[in-house]
Structure 1
Amino acid sequence: MYFWISTMWKNDFLSWDPQQFCNMSHITVPLSHLWLPDLYFYEQVVEDLSPWMRYANLTHEGMITAVKPTRLTSTCVLDFYYFPFDIQKCSISLVSSMHLENSMVLKTLKNSSEIHEESMKYFVDNGEWHLLEVLVEEKKLHGYSWLIYSVVMQRQSSLYVLALILPSLSLLVLDLLCHYIPKLYIEKINFKVTVLLGLSVLLLMLNDFLPASSDDAPIIVIFLIGTMTSITAGILENIFVMYAGGKILEPDKTSTGTYPLYQGLFLKSSSKEVQLEEEEQVLEDGVVSMLERICRDMHLVRQQIQSLQGMENLGRRREELQEKIDKLVFYSHLVLVTAFYTTVVFKWKW
């Protein structure tokens, strides 16, 4: 930070009567001839080498005004939990290094509103921070007199909203709308993987945007991790739906005449085996009458038709089961996603 220190104190040994000196009420004197208060900033980490202005203003009442331009590099504990909607408050403490409270008391000439109004005239905005207010407080700590200036600044969040949050939400919306792609689970999975890769690029961008900070993970990190988890869960849901639908098998008859479910993934057809057995039997028996051959062919045709009907019923039952499971899983997923993002929004807001 760059600012001006304007100090004023009274020296009772440098007062005069203006009427005795041609009505001169103030003069300018070299600062090197005067006593200077030993002031320093408690939070500074780099030695301040800026000199005082060479001359000071002296009034007939003994009031001395001296000015020092200062470029301060200080420490400040920042909390990035609400990044990029965070508000930071940094304090600058002005204190004497050797004079106790009973020797020198520091006071401010202007209140907080006046200091803030004057600071806004000279505040240079770099596009990332907005100055909210400047507070001043007079304190007595450890036997010394302190002046504590608190600078409250708010981060400009528009860049981060446009570059990180809105693209992430767009990818999430695309992932949810992928549910309405009709019954093409392989294409759904391919599309969701592409969306997941796009979100991974945003996470790489976050490393450049997010300041190295605090012990607790910022909300934006939780937001992006939750988005990635949601998309990954959508991929797993589609795989589960495909697996559950594929567990319905071809209806092989059992002794009870029922068709068992969930016995394997692939269809089985016995028509070719029956045909081979019939042909072998024809070769072994020799000559078979034309009528018997026609009957056997009709029997094979009937078996093939039954097999095709079974496959059709199997596909219909698989689609019905997949559709039911898909709806149940999707709406459960939608409720969880809504609850998660509602919680994140309330955390950012409050």
Structure 2
Amino acid sequence: MTKVKTAGLIFICFSLLQGFVAALNCTSPTPKSLFDALERELFPKKLLRPVKSFSDTLNVSIHMTVVGILGVNEKAQSMTTFIWQILEWNIEGLSWDEKECGTNRVSVPREKLWIPDVSVAEFMDEDKSPKTSYVYLYNTGRVFDDKPVRVVSSCQLEIYTFPFDIQNCTLTFGPHLHVAEDIRMIQGTTAELILAESREVVKTKGEWELADIKSAQNSLEITEGSYSEIKFFIILRRRPVLYVVNLLIPSCFLITLDLFSFLLPPQSVDRSAFKMTLILGYTVFLLLMNELLPVTGNTIPLINVLFSVSLALMVASLLETVFITNIQFSSSQYSAVPHWLSVLVLRYLAVVVFLPPKQKSNRITVSLHPPARGPAMETSFISSRDLQSISGGTTPEKPPPEPEVALDELRKLSRDLTAIRLQMDKHLQGTKTSQEWQMIGIVIDRLLFGLYIIFISVSFITIVSIWIWNNSFVD
């Protein structure tokens, strides 16, 4: 009885040491002999996880290589890539002698082995990648599963700096069902080696280029348990040359033309017509280039803001031209300029645009005998006397002596010339109200011209800075 118990204990210990399957014994170093052994020891157990006991954890090593970047859809917030996915794991207890069986590895049908259910968590579409039928099985029990995968994954795209944007998309590899106690994901190689290998084999040379790859070990905690995951961060950089040539440069040309239109005389009708033509051309340009601009519901690209502000400045400059033209031709009919507007524009804004108010003239008109009444009234009075003397309606007074008559006539002539000179000065210089309105128009015109220069300068510096930062991106 004691011998029977001892033999049973030895058998149980031996069975535990055997692992998931026993070491294979080949009758000859031929493929038939090896497959017979596999058919006998391994293939019938393909439904079970290849571990010694249920409490053991199976380590699955993953390696990934990016072969192609097929596209990025900003509207759908998705990225399409083509990768090589390599999974490796050990079948507990499986081994064979290389000399006895004739080889150290053999390809076996995928359906004959237990395969871990590793998938990409960000999958958004059906996997249309080509199917592979075989995996490599080594004499140490190591399984090597290499297959191509076409991944359509979700990616939160940030297009604020379009077309100089850099996107960071994540591919999370992990088991779909098995928790971390059953399957633990292990990264096979470093992210630097993955990046170097991917840059060597990447096939696509389109709009996007592979800038960097990072990786991190992750554990997803949910109610059912913890899931082991490996995250790969695919960092893509957009090639902006196409958009710079087709969007930014034509827009800058049109804005520059509108800027130099300020050099045209504001009272000229050609200036407003020129600006209207530019606005029409810029609108047509935006409609034609609308298909090149990305569309998302979350973020507005900075280039869209640039185009909108440029169009707003063009419209503002046209309205300002209409205002100035109206002032030039109708300012004499306006009422007096409000005091607050006169102070704001002529005292403060004029200094800002380097247009100080004109100095008052120091010329003084001296009259030895200023008239008691206004020039107009005096002229009217003189005309009445002359008419009465000519018509003979009244008897003229006795003429004074000859020297006094000459002096009186000279005084009359002096008063008439003074009235004529004042009327001519008033006609040539305009009224004070008209001059103030015209000065306000000139100040506003120069202020908008300065804002245009500042806007174009800041936009140009911003675009160049973002471009330089984008091209020198190094992690």
Q: Which moved more, 1:125-134 or 1:7-16?
A: 125-134
The aligned runs of 1:33-182 (5 Å cut-off) are 33-48=112-127, 50=129, 52-142=131-221, 143-182=226-265
1:64 aligned counterpart, secondary structure: strand
Superposed displacement of residue 261, structure 1: 7.5
Aligned equivalents of 1:305 and 1:339: distance in 2? Answer: 46
* Partner amino acid, structure 2, of 1:95: G
Aligned equivalents of 1:71 and 1:97: distance in 2? Answer: 18
2:242 aligned counterpart, secondary structure: helix
TM-score (normalised: structure 1): 0.76
* Counterpart in the other structure of 1:334: 449
Aligned equivalents of 2:272 and 2:169: distance in 1? Answer: 49
2:156 aligned counterpart, secondary structure: coil
Whether contact under 8 Å (2:89, 2:144) holds in the other structure is yes
Whether contact under 8 Å (1:48, 1:72) holds in the other structure is yes
> CA RMSD of the aligned region, Å?
3.5
Whether contact under 8 Å (1:248, 1:314) holds in the other structure is no
Matched, 1:18 2:77: no
Gaps of 5+ in 2: 1-80, 338-390, 393-416, 470-475
**Paired residue for 2:297, among 209, 214, 219?**
214
Aligned equivalents of 1:103 and 1:261: distance in 2? Answer: 88
Task: Flag the structure with larger Rg.
Answer: 2
Whether contact under 8 Å (1:171, 1:199) holds in the other structure is yes
Aligned equivalents of 2:336 and 2:112: distance in 1? Answer: 103
Q: Which moved more, 1:326-335 or 1:194-203?
A: 326-335
Superposed displacement of residue 112, structure 1: 1.0
Superposed displacement of residue 135, structure 1: 1.9
Aligned equivalents of 1:146 and 1:124: distance in 2? Answer: 28
* Partner amino acid, structure 1, of 2:135: A
Aligned equivalents of 1:200 and 1:17: distance in 2? Answer: 77
2:187 aligned counterpart, secondary structure: coil
Superposed displacement of residue 114, structure 1: 1.1
| C-alpha distance 62-261 of structure 1, shift in aligned 2 (>3 A) | closer
Superposed CA deviations along residues 94-121 of structure 1, whole A, max 9, x for unmatched, are 1101211111111121211111111122
| C-alpha distance 146-113 of structure 1, shift in aligned 2 (>3 A) | same
Superposed displacement of residue 177, structure 1: 0.8
Aligned equivalents of 1:162 and 1:244: distance in 2? Answer: 41
Whether contact under 8 Å (1:129, 1:154) holds in the other structure is yes
Superposed displacement of residue 28, structure 1: 2.5
| C-alpha distance 14-261 of structure 1, shift in aligned 2 (>3 A) | closer
Aligned equivalents of 2:248 and 2:82: distance in 1? Answer: 34
Aligned equivalents of 2:126 and 2:204: distance in 1? Answer: 25
1:137 aligned counterpart, secondary structure: strand
Superposed displacement of residue 184, structure 1: 4.5
2:115 aligned counterpart, secondary structure: coil
Identity of aligned residues (%): 27
Aligned equivalents of 1:103 and 1:4: distance in 2? Answer: 25
* Partner amino acid, structure 1, of 2:310: T
Superposed displacement of residue 185, structure 1: 2.7
| C-alpha distance 50-124 of structure 1, shift in aligned 2 (>3 A) | closer
Superposed displacement of residue 125, structure 1: 3.1
* Partner amino acid, structure 1, of 2:179: L
Whether contact under 8 Å (2:324, 2:442) holds in the other structure is no
Gaps of 5+ in 1: 251-259, 263-287, 290-301
Whether contact under 8 Å (2:267, 2:324) holds in the other structure is no
Matched, 1:4 2:84: yes
| C-alpha distance 194-247 of structure 1, shift in aligned 2 (>3 A) | same
* Partner amino acid, structure 1, of 2:199: M
Superposed displacement of residue 335, structure 1: 3.5
* Counterpart in the other structure of 2:56: none
The aligned runs of 1:250-261 (5 Å cut-off) are none
* Counterpart in the other structure of 1:280: none
Q: Which moved more, 1:222-231 or 1:156-165?
A: 156-165
Matched, 1:189 2:272: yes
Aligned equivalents of 2:119 and 2:175: distance in 1? Answer: 6
Aligned equivalents of 1:249 and 1:73: distance in 2? Answer: 70
Superposed displacement of residue 222, structure 1: 0.9
Superposed displacement of residue 174, structure 1: 0.9
Whether contact under 8 Å (2:82, 2:148) holds in the other structure is yes
| C-alpha distance 189-141 of structure 1, shift in aligned 2 (>3 A) | same
TM-score (normalised: structure 2): 0.57
Superposed displacement of residue 32, structure 1: 2.2
* Partner amino acid, structure 2, of 1:27: V
| C-alpha distance 138-124 of structure 1, shift in aligned 2 (>3 A) | same
* Partner amino acid, structure 2, of 1:196: I
Aligned equivalents of 2:266 and 2:153: distance in 1? Answer: 61
Aligned equivalents of 1:52 and 1:13: distance in 2? Answer: 29
Superposed displacement of residue 126, structure 1: 4.7
Aligned equivalents of 1:249 and 1:105: distance in 2? Answer: 88
Superposed displacement of residue 219, structure 1: 0.9
| C-alpha distance 216-35 of structure 1, shift in aligned 2 (>3 A) | closer
